[in-house]
Amino acid sequence: MRKLFGTDGIRGVAGEHPVTPEVCQRLAGALAVLFHDSTMENLTTAAVRPSVIIGQDSRISGDMLERALTAHFASCGVDVRLLGIVPTAAASILTKKLGANAGIMISASHNPFRDNGLKVFDGEGSKLTDDAEAKLEGIMMDDALLPPSGGEACGLVRQEDDGLAIYRNLLMTSSVFDKSEAAAVKIVLDSANGALSSTAAGVFREFNFDLVSIHDSPNGSNINDGCGATNPDVLAAAVIEHQADVGIAFDGDGDRLLLADENGDPVDGDTLLAILIRDGNFPRRPVVSTIMANLALEQYLTAGGRELIRTAVGDRHVFEEMRRLDAALGGEPSGHIIIASHAHTGDGLFVALKLMECFVRSQKKFSEFRNVFRPYPSLSENILVMNKSVIHLPEVEAALEQAKATLQDNGRVILRPSGTEPVVRIYAEGEDQRRLREAVDLLRNVIGAVR
């Protein structure tokens, strides 16, 4: 069982294991080893000195972790190119575009500012596979395998000042709007005081949208604080207050998004996937989502002659399956949407632009435009636990089977451990809301008694 890597890299409270300068040093040393390991696909190097890209979101602890990584990479003979504050997608895209051997994004995504994390990309800009993470962690945990530091072969460190401009230019050249039509669309844009705070509003204004930008002033501790994609009520209130046509909110590192229509009603990732399939001119290939995707999305895709492929939770699992199937589009209900032709990870800003292209063309209100399918009702609860393996206890497994039986053939129940928090998650969906409540209550009560 892995001790460092979870659903999305290494994550925890900044300054506490495993998000410490020491772990950063071990990560840098282990990657330096793998750069010279010809068996490590996409993390190899030529005879020249290897290089790594490092980006971060707006958390106050980002500089501490960046400096720990940078010093140890350089001491192991690896060049370091610092992007500063950028969205996760920019770190992924620039890792490949700038020819780095690997990339690291310092971020805890939608978590509060006290948390932080380390997301690792291979030379193609893809998050590491389970096998690659296991190999990397094995080296990190073994002092005998880590390389000595220091000596004459130090790496160079430089600030990549053009990185954000390259990313922004990519967005500008891949989107097309009639500026007169865009000017008629009023958008509330919530940047979560995160990595997109200095980029997103400028891009939308460049396309001439009537924009209200909120939560775009990060101070190191206000990231995701009562704002962003995890706070739909805040976005809804702002849309109604400003009488906007649509609201768009990102999370702290900009790899996921939430939309709201003109009434403030939220639009989740399942619906966004369906809109892109309906209006986005994507090739007729399977669509990849996770076990959390609503059954109604699957039925919608099936009716249109497409197959929905489900994976474990986590956008890296989604992309691995997309790559295997040569799928063009994938995502999660939480708002991670991956467009394979653009990036190997979610890019909230790019996806928002694609959705706005479709919306502007539609000449409809967003409440009409979003009407693709009717999701099955659902309930979800998070239960704080001391040990997430509680889900494997016989009484919990029996309760799960009983909960599934409660819904009969008209729904489903999922019980899974969080990869980022000390909780287990209950999710149920189906036609009968009373039965949903019974199923969730049953599981919550049993887990609460044994946790």
pLDDT by residue (tens digit) across 107-144? Answer: 999 999 999 999 999 999 999 999 999 999 999 999 99
- The overall average pLDDT reported for the chain is 94
Q: Dump pLDDT digits (tens) for 56-79.
A: 999 999 999 999 999 999 999 999
- pLDDT of 150: 63
pLDDT band of residue 218 (cuts 50, 70, 90) is: very high
Residue 422, pLDDT > 90, answer no
**What string of H, E and C letters represents the secondary structure of the chain?**
CCCCEECCEEEEECCCCCCCHHHHHHHHHHHHHHHCCCCCCCCCCCCCCCEEEEEECCCCCHHHHHHHHHHHHHHCCCEEEEEEECCHHHHHHHHHHCCCCEEEEECCCCCCCCEEEEEEECCCCCECCHHHHHHHHHHHCCCCCCCCCCCCCCCCEEECCCHHHHHHHHHHHCCCCCHHHHHCCEEEEECCCCCCCCCHHHHHHHCCCEEEEECCCCCCCCCCCCCCCCCHHHHHHHHHHCCCCEEEEECCCCCCEEEECCCCCEECHHHHHHHHHHHCCCCCCCEEEECCCCHHHHHHHHHCCCCEEEECCCHHHHHHHHHHHCCCEEECCCCCEEECCCCCCCCHHHHHHHHHHHHHHHCCCHHHHCCCCCCCCEEEEEEECCCHHHHHCHHHHHHHHHHHHHHCCCEEEEEEECCCCCEEEEEEEECCHHHHHHHHHHHHHHHHHHC
Contact yes or no for 327/286 (Cβ under 8 A): yes
Residue 46, pLDDT > 50, answer no
pLDDT band of residue 246 (cuts 50, 70, 90) is: very high
Q: In the chain, which segments carry CATH 3.30.310.50?
A: 378-450
The reported pTM is: 0.92
Closest CA to 270 of 243, 278, 62: 278
Lowest mean pLDDT among 223-227, 325-329, 422-426: 422-426
- pLDDT of 398: 96
CATH for 5-161, among 3.40.120.10, 3.40.50.12280, 1.20.1370.10, 3.40.50.300? 3.40.120.10
The mean per-residue pLDDT over the stretch 326-335 comes to 97
In the set 92, 109, 126, 191, the catalytic residue is 109
- pLDDT of 112: 96
CATH number of 378-450: 3.30.310.50
Residue 45, pLDDT > 50, answer no
Q: What are the φ/ψ torsions at residue 420 (nearest 5 degrees)?
A: -125, -10
pLDDT band of residue 24 (cuts 50, 70, 90) is: very high
CB neighbours of 47 closer than 8 A, spacing ≥ 6? none
The mean per-residue pLDDT over the stretch 337-361 comes to 97
pLDDT band of residue 166 (cuts 50, 70, 90) is: very high
Highest-confidence range of 35-39, 141-145, 353-357, by mean pLDDT? 353-357
Give me the architecture of the 182-265 domain, per CATH. 3-Layer(aba) Sandwich (3.40)
Q: In the chain, which segments carry CATH 3.40.120.10?
A: 5-161, 182-265, 268-348+369-375
Residue 49, pLDDT > 90, answer no
% of the chain exceeding 70 in pLDDT: 96
What is the amino acid identity at position 409? D
Q: What is the CA radius of gyration of the chain?
A: 22
Q: Is residue 109 flagged as an active site residue? A: yes
- pLDDT of 152: 59
The mean per-residue pLDDT over the stretch 225-230 comes to 98
What class has domain 268-348+369-375? alpha beta
